[in-house]
Structure 1
Amino acid sequence: MPSSPKVYATFTVTSGCVCFGGLHNIWSGSTVPTQSFPTVRPQTRGTIRTHELQYNIRAKNGTWNVYRLIDKRNNEVSAWYVSHSCVEPVQDIRKILRIAGSPYEQDGGSTMNTDDTQREGIFVINRYDWGCYDRRYLDEIGEGAEEGANDVLANSNSAGLVDYSGAQLQVQQWKRMRPSERPGSRIGIWMYSPHAEYMFCRFSFDEARDAMQSLVFFSSNTEFARVTFEELEETVKRFETSQKRFERQLKEEYDFSGLEELRRMSTPLVVGLSPLGPSRPASELQGPYKDIKAVFEARDIERLRIVSQKYPKSFAEQWKHHIHNLLNELAWYYLDWFIRPHIGLYGGVEAMANAIFPCHLESGVNGLHNHLYRHFTQPDADPVSGLNADGVSDRIKDLLAPESLSLPSSNYSKSVCRVLAYLIMEIFELASYRASESSHAQIVPSDIRLSIYTDRDLFQIFQYSRAFWQGVE
C-alpha cells in the first residue's frame, strides 16, 4: 500500500486569498476586501447560534493539493481535505479534528469559535453559517443547475474553494453544471459528496495565523473513524468502542466533573430563554460546607448506590472521592436550605412535613414530593436495607445543633435521614441511566450533575447549591 494519500486534484492560489461556500457565497466573498484570520464569535439568531462570515479568507500562495476521503463501508466520497503543498496531510487533519472536529462524534473538540480554537489557529464553520442560510447574492446568482431527484440536497450541501482573483468567472462556469459534474480548475475545486446532509468546514492557519494552509470539508454523514484517504488503509480517526474510549478518557484524566456541560446547557440562547434551566447568580448560591462533618460516610453512600439500581454501576475510582464530597455537599445544602428553617415547628411531625413539602398533594401519587412527604412522616415503613440509619441520624443531629436541642422527643433526625437517603437513591438511579446513555461503564460526577439538572423536581431542590454549579475539592 502507498505510504502517502492519493492527490485527487491540484490548483494554484496567486492572490493570497480564497473564496469559499455555495455559488452565491463565493460571489459574495469576491465583492469584499480579503479577510485575515477571523476572530468572529457565535451569535444568537432565534434558537440557533451562528457565525458572521465574509466567505473569503487569506490563504498561502502556491500549489494546493485536493484529497478525497472515502467511506470504507460504501466506497463513496464522504469528506474532502485540501491543503497547501507544504502541509503533511495525515498529521494535519488529525490535529484539526482533535481541536474542532465533527459535532456528531465523540471527542470532537469545540463546535464553535472560541479562544481555544483561535489559539490553535483553527476557524470553525457550521451548518447554519453558509449555503442557503446566508442569502446574500442568492437571488442574483442562484444555486446553479440541480443535481436531480437522486440527490436533491446536493446544491445546498456541496461547496467550492477558489482563488479570489478568478472567483466570479469560476462561479459563472460552475453554475451551468450539476454539482457532481463541476470540475476542478487551475484556480479551484468543487467539493461534492453524494447524499450528504448539512455541511461543515474547519480551516487551519499557519503558526503565525497569517494565512490559511488547509481545510476539512465534511457533512453530518461523515464518520471519521470510518473514512480513509484514497489509497490509504488506516482511517482518519482510530475507531474505539465506547468502553475503550471511556477507559482512555479516564486514563488521560478527562474532565468528567460535568461543570462545563452544565454551563453550556444552562446558557440562554436568547434573553429570557434557556433550553432546560438557567444557572443561578453566584451571590444566591449556598455552600460550600466542606469543613463540616460528612452526613453520609463512604459505606453509607456505597450502600445507597447498590440498593438504588437494578443493575448497579460502580463509581469510577478516580472520581469516587469527588462524588462522595459532592453528595455530602448536596445533603448538607438540603439540611440548611429545607430542614433547618422548620426545626421545632409547633404541631409535630405532620406540621413540619407540610411546611417542608407544601406541594406534596399536587405532585401526585408518584411525584417526588409525595414520596418525600411519606418517608418523612413514616421513616420506619420502608427502611433502606443495610444503611446505618442510626449513625446518619446521629450526625444529622450534630450538624443541626443547636437547633436540634429544640427537637421534641420524637426523632426528626430519623425522618430527615430517610428523606436524604431517598433523594440520593433517586439521583443514583437517574445517574445510572445517564451513564449508560453516555457510554460510561461507571458513574462519574457528570452523570450525577446532569441527571439533577435534567430532572425538574431535583433541579428545583438543588438549584442553589454552589457545589452543584461550581464543583467541590
Structure 2
Amino acid sequence: MPSDPKVYSTFTVASGCICFGALHNIWSGSTVPTQNFPSARPQTNGTVIIHELEYNIVAKNGTWNVYRLVDNRNNNVSAWYVSHSCVEPVQDIRRILRVSGSPYEEDGGSPMNNDDTQREGVFAINRYDWGYYDRRYLDEIGEGVEEGANDVLANSNSAGLVDYSEAQHQVQQWKEMRPSERPSSRAGIWMYSPHAEYMFCRFGFDQARDAAQSFVFFSSYTEFARVSFEGLEEAVKRFEAPQERFERQLREGYDFSGIDELRKMSTPFGVGFSSFGSPPPAASDLQGPYRNNMVIFEAWDIENLRIASQNPRRASCSKSFAEQWKHHTHSLFNDLACYYLDRCIRPHIGLYDEVEVMANSIFARHVESGPNGLDSHLYRHFTQPDAEPISGFDADGVSGRIKEILVPEARSLISPDHSKGVCRVLAYLIMEISELASYRASDSSRLQIVPSDIRLSIYTDRDMFQIFQYSKALWQGLG
C-alpha cells in the first residue's frame, strides 16, 4: 500500500511569484508588482464580505507538485493541493485546514483572514474574492471556452496557478480550451473539479512568512472528511460524528461559554450592515455579575429543575449539563437569578401588601400576552406558587435565601407569600431556559448542555431576551 500521495503533475516557479484565479484574475495579477504575505482583512462590499486582492503572491522557487483530492464516494476530483517539493503534503494540508478550512465544515478555524491566520502563515481567499466578482480584465480576457451544457459554471468555479513570468502566455493558451481540457504545463496548472460551486483557496507560507509554499483549492461541495489524496485511502480529515467532536472539544478545553458567539451574532458585519439580532446594551447599563456568595439555587436545585423541564413528548431532546461546564452553568443560572431579583423584583419590594397587587405590577402584560404568554405563566406561578410542586426542589430553602438577598436589613418588608411567589417564578424561568437550551443542544446533535446553549437560547428568544438583556453575565461572563 503506498505511503505517499500520487503526484498528478509538476511545474516550476522561477520568478519567485505565482499568479492565481480565473483567467482574467491571472492576467490582472501579472500586471502588478509581486505581493508579499498579504495583510488584507475582510471588508464589506455591497451585501458581501470580501478581501481585496492583486492575484499574485510571492512564492518559493523550484519544483511544485500537484495533487488531486478525490471524493471517496464517487471517485470524482473534489479539491486540489499544490505545494513546493520541500513540503510534506498530508501534514501541511491538515495544518492549513485547521487554521482556515472550509466555511461549511466544523472545526475549520477562521474563514476570514485575521491575526490568527497571519500568525500561522495561512492566507484565505473566499468565493467573493475572485473569479467574476472581480471584473478587472474580464472584458479583455473573457472566461475562455465554455465547458458545455453538462457543466455551465465550469469557468466560474475552476482556477489556475501559474508562474508570474509565464502568466500571460499561459492565459492565452488556456482561454482557447474548455476548463476540463486545459493541460498542466511547465509553468502552471489549471484545476478543474466537475460540477463544483463557489471557489475557495488557502495559501500556506513558510515559517518566516517570506514565501508561499502550498495552495489548497476547493469548493462548497468539498467535504474534507470524505476526500483523500490520490494514492492514499485515509481521508484528509478524520470523520467525526457531532457528539464525538463535542467530546473531543471538551477534552481539549474548547470554549463553550458562548460569549464569543454572542458577540458575533450581535455585531454588525460592517458599515451599512445589521447584526443577526439585537446589539448589546451600553456597558453602563449592564447589571452584575453578583458576588459568589449570593447563591439562590444549590446545585441539586438546578439539576432538579433541569429534570423537571424535560418534555416527555420530546425524549430525544432530554439533555444533561456537560460535566466539565456544570459549575459554570450553575453559577450562570444563579447570576441570572440575582439579576432578575435586582432588576425585576427589588423595585417592587415594600410597595404592595397583597400578592396579586404586586403580581399585577411586576407582570403588567399578563392579560395582554394571552394564556400562553410568558408574563401570563409568570403571573400564575407568582400568585399560585404551590399549585405545581417540583419533585426534589427545595422551595422553602430557596425562598429563604431570596428573602435574605432582597431585604437583608429589613426582612419584614417581604412576606413569605411574596418570597414563595418569587421563588416559583425563578424556578419557572430556569426550567424554560433549560428546555430551550436542550433543544439547541439537540439541534447540534449533542447529548449535553453547555453555557453557550443557555446564552444563545436567551438571546434568540424574544421574551427571555427582554428580561435578561441587561445582564452582564449574559454578555461578558462571570469574571
Matched, 1:399 2:405: yes
CA shift, 1:437, in A, is 1.4
> What residue in structure 1 maps to residue 212 of structure 2?
212
Counterpart residue type for residue 172 of structure 1: Q
Q: Report the 3-state secondary structure (helix = DSSP H, G, I; strand = E; otherwise coil) of the residue aligned with 2:64.
A: strand
Alignment of 1:10-89 (within 5 A): 10-89=10-89
Equivalent pair of 1:202/1:216 in contact (CA under 8 Å) = yes
CA shift, 1:452, in A, is 1.2
Q: Report the 3-state secondary structure (helix = DSSP H, G, I; strand = E; otherwise coil) of the residue aligned with 1:214.
A: strand
In the TM superposition, what whole-angstrom CA distance separates every residue of 1:269-289 from its partner, at most 9, and x where no partner exists?
Answer: 244621112123322211111
Q: Report the 3-state secondary structure (helix = DSSP H, G, I; strand = E; otherwise coil) of the residue aligned with 1:177.
A: coil
User: How far, CA to CA, are the matches of 2:145 and 2:358 in structure 1?
Assistant: 74
Bigger mean CA offset, 328-337 vs 240-249? 240-249
Q: Report the 3-state secondary structure (helix = DSSP H, G, I; strand = E; otherwise coil) of the residue aligned with 2:448.
A: coil
> What residue in structure 2 maps to residue 278 of structure 1?
279
CA shift, 1:348, in A, is 3.0
User: How far, CA to CA, are the matches of 2:124 and 2:382 in structure 1?
Assistant: 53
CA shift, 1:364, in A, is 3.0
> What residue in structure 2 maps to residue 186 of structure 1?
186
In the TM superposition, what whole-angstrom CA distance separates every residue of 1:143-183 from its partner, at most 9, and x where no partner exists?
Answer: 11111221122111111111111212211211121111111
CA shift, 1:347, in A, is 6.5
> What residue in structure 1 maps to residue 303 of structure 2?
302
User: How far, CA to CA, are the matches of 1:46 and 1:348 in structure 2?
Assistant: 58
> What residue in structure 1 maps to residue 357 of structure 2?
351
CA shift, 1:130, in A, is 1.2
Matched, 1:428 2:434: yes
Equivalent pair of 1:343/1:406 in contact (CA under 8 Å) = no
Counterpart residue type for residue 369 of structure 1: D
Equivalent pair of 1:206/1:212 in contact (CA under 8 Å) = yes
Tell me which of 398, 416, 420 is aligned to 2:422: 416
Structure 2 CA distance for partners of 1:130 and 1:363, relative to 1, 3 Å:
farther
User: How far, CA to CA, are the matches of 1:251 and 1:409 in structure 2?
Assistant: 47
Equivalent pair of 2:203/2:212 in contact (CA under 8 Å) = yes
Equivalent pair of 1:345/1:351 in contact (CA under 8 Å) = no
Tell me which of 452, 455, 458 is aligned to 1:446: 452
Equivalent pair of 1:48/1:269 in contact (CA under 8 Å) = no
User: How far, CA to CA, are the matches of 1:404 and 1:23 in structure 2?
Assistant: 79
CA shift, 1:390, in A, is 1.1
> What residue in structure 2 maps to residue 289 of structure 1?
290
* TM-score normalized by the length of structure 2: 0.95
Counterpart residue type for residue 439 of structure 1: S
Structure 2 CA distance for partners of 1:24 and 1:360, relative to 1, 3 Å:
farther
CA shift, 1:358, in A, is 2.8
Identity among equivalent pairs (%): 76
CA shift, 1:261, in A, is 1.2
In the TM superposition, what whole-angstrom CA distance separates every residue of 1:48-87 from its partner, at most 9, and x where no partner exists?
Answer: 3221111111101111110000101000000000001110
CA shift, 1:24, in A, is 1.5
In the TM superposition, what whole-angstrom CA distance separates every residue of 1:280-306 from its partner, at most 9, and x where no partner exists?
Answer: 332221111133321110110000000
Counterpart residue type for residue 221 of structure 1: Y
CA shift, 1:405, in A, is 3.2
In the TM superposition, what whole-angstrom CA distance separates every residue of 1:407-439 from its partner, at most 9, and x where no partner exists?
Answer: 364621111111111111111111111111112
CA shift, 1:406, in A, is 5.3
Tell me which of 315, 319, 328 is aligned to 2:321: 315
Alignment of 1:234-273 (within 5 A): 234-271=234-271, 273=274
Equivalent pair of 1:46/1:270 in contact (CA under 8 Å) = no
Equivalent pair of 2:404/2:411 in contact (CA under 8 Å) = no
Tell me which of 347, 363, 367 is aligned to 2:373: 367
Equivalent pair of 2:395/2:423 in contact (CA under 8 Å) = yes
CA shift, 1:354, in A, is 2.9
Equivalent pair of 1:398/1:404 in contact (CA under 8 Å) = no
User: How far, CA to CA, are the matches of 1:30 and 1:372 in structure 2?
Assistant: 68
> What residue in structure 2 maps to residue 126 of structure 1?
126
Q: Report the 3-state secondary structure (helix = DSSP H, G, I; strand = E; otherwise coil) of the residue aligned with 1:411.
A: helix
> What residue in structure 1 maps to residue 162 of structure 2?
162
User: How far, CA to CA, are the matches of 2:471 and 2:357 in structure 1?
Assistant: 26
List gaps (5 residues or longer) in structure 2.
none
Q: Report the 3-state secondary structure (helix = DSSP H, G, I; strand = E; otherwise coil) of the residue aligned with 2:239.
A: coil
Equivalent pair of 2:36/2:210 in contact (CA under 8 Å) = yes
Structure 2 CA distance for partners of 1:57 and 1:362, relative to 1, 3 Å:
farther
Structure 2 CA distance for partners of 1:426 and 1:20, relative to 1, 3 Å:
same
Tell me which of 336, 346, 356 is aligned to 1:340: 346
Counterpart residue type for residue 118 of structure 1: Q
CA shift, 1:32, in A, is 1.5
Structure 2 CA distance for partners of 1:153 and 1:347, relative to 1, 3 Å:
farther
* TM-score normalized by the length of structure 1: 0.96
User: How far, CA to CA, are the matches of 2:462 and 2:139 in structure 1?
Assistant: 46
CA shift, 1:371, in A, is 1.5
Counterpart residue type for residue 179 of structure 1: P
> What residue in structure 2 maps to residue 385 of structure 1?
391
Q: Report the 3-state secondary structure (helix = DSSP H, G, I; strand = E; otherwise coil) of the residue aligned with 2:41.
A: coil
Counterpart residue type for residue 324 of structure 1: H
Give the alignment's Cα RMSD to 1 decimal: 1.6
CA shift, 1:47, in A, is 3.7
CA shift, 1:17, in A, is 0.8
